[in-house]
Amino acid sequence: MTAFRALVKKEIVVLFGSPVAYVVLTTVTILTSITFFEHLRLYNHQLFLYASSSMGGFESDSIPDYINLRDTVFFPVMEQLGLLLLLPIPMVTMRVFARERDTGTDELLLTSGVPVATIVAAKFIVTFAFVALMMAVSFVYPVTAIVQGGLGLQHLLAVFIGLMLLGIGIASIGLICSAMTRSHVVAAASTVATAYLMYDFGWTHAFVSPGVAGLLDAISLHPHFARFSEGIVSLADIVYFVALAVAAGAVVRAALQIERVRP
């Protein structure tokens, strides 16, 4: 446990000792706020036009179904931010293992007697915690706006959980890629390419059998986080992202174990 705590502290210092972490936090926060504000502005504009038209008024209690937070705010925000996360997260994960190999400190770490599982757990936990922090900071404005409006807070919470899980899924892919190379650039590029490929296999449905299409959907990122835009927090979707993180940890552990015993 002492070794684990020391490794966690080391990873935190290394992570926040680089300007990349602050650039990613600031960029994602600004883009999330702008995206949410723009769609919330559109929703309010639709409400104003409806209330000002002959079909209703400000005194009307009925709002048509086509004017709703789900279609105007939550769903498009999730879709846009989901794609946005494919870029900043690899910038964070690219250095986690690749930096150790590039500087040669991986040999010291692997021969220090610390179990490989402990090394992997420390790096994964710090990375996932950063993703959670990034999403929490970026959602400060959306939460404030929704609370002041008095509506949609539970739905927004589902959106937050979905995007955070997606971020952890992308980070899991990024950590695997980082563990397979000593180049930061290769790690980042391969993470973006792999995550983008796994994002949605819907385009393949016209070329494969229904059984294969179902299998591809089962391993795709998008189908498992898109349901959160409906305000639905599904246990099956949570299990998918947890399983992806666990599988990534197992792959990285195996890769490091092979590196340790290699003459």
Quote the pLDDT of residue 257: 85
Give the span between the Cα atoms of 246 and 165, in whole angstroms.
Answer: 13
Distances in Å between the Cα of 58 and the Cα atoms of 44, 67, 115 are 13, 15, 65
Identify the residue with better confidence: 71 or 136: 136
Tens of pLDDT, residue by residue over 39-90, are 778 777 777 776 676 554 544 456 666 666 667 777 788 888 888 999 999 9
Burial 120-149 (b: 16+ CB within 10 A, else e): bbbbbebbbebbeebbeebbebbeebbeee
Distances in Å between the Cα of 210 and the Cα atoms of 46, 198, 203, 222 are 39, 18, 13, 18
Average pLDDT over residues 118-144: 90
Burial of 248: CB neighbours in 10 Å, binned 0-12, 13-18, 19+: buried
Quote the pLDDT of residue 54: 52
Average pLDDT over residues 182-200: 92
Give the span between the Cα atoms of 211 and 97, in whole angstroms.
Answer: 37
Give the span between the Cα atoms of 225 and 179, in whole angstroms.
Answer: 26
Distances in Å between the Cα of 94 and the Cα atoms of 74, 231, 245 are 30, 32, 16
Say if residue 95's pLDDT is above 80. yes
Quote the pLDDT of residue 74: 76
Tens of pLDDT, residue by residue over 217-263, are 888 998 888 888 777 888 999 999 999 999 999 999 998 888 766 65
- Residue 9: count of CB within 10 angstroms of its CB: 12
Tokens of 106: 């991986």
Give the N- to C-terminal CA distance of the chain in Å, as an integer.
29
Ramachandran area for residue 104 (φ above 0: left; ψ -120 to 50: alpha; else beta): left
Give the span between the Cα atoms of 102 and 192, in whole angstroms.
Answer: 20
Tokens of 75: 């769903």
Quote the pLDDT of residue 60: 46
Give the span between the Cα atoms of 232 and 218, in whole angstroms.
Answer: 18
Tens of pLDDT, residue by residue over 149-187, are 656 778 788 888 999 999 999 999 999 999 998 888 999
Tens of pLDDT, residue by residue over 1-38, are 688 888 899 899 989 988 999 999 999 989 888 888 88
- Residue 203: count of CB within 10 angstroms of its CB: 8
Quote the pLDDT of residue 24: 93
Tokens of 219: 């391993």
Average pLDDT over residues 116-135: 92
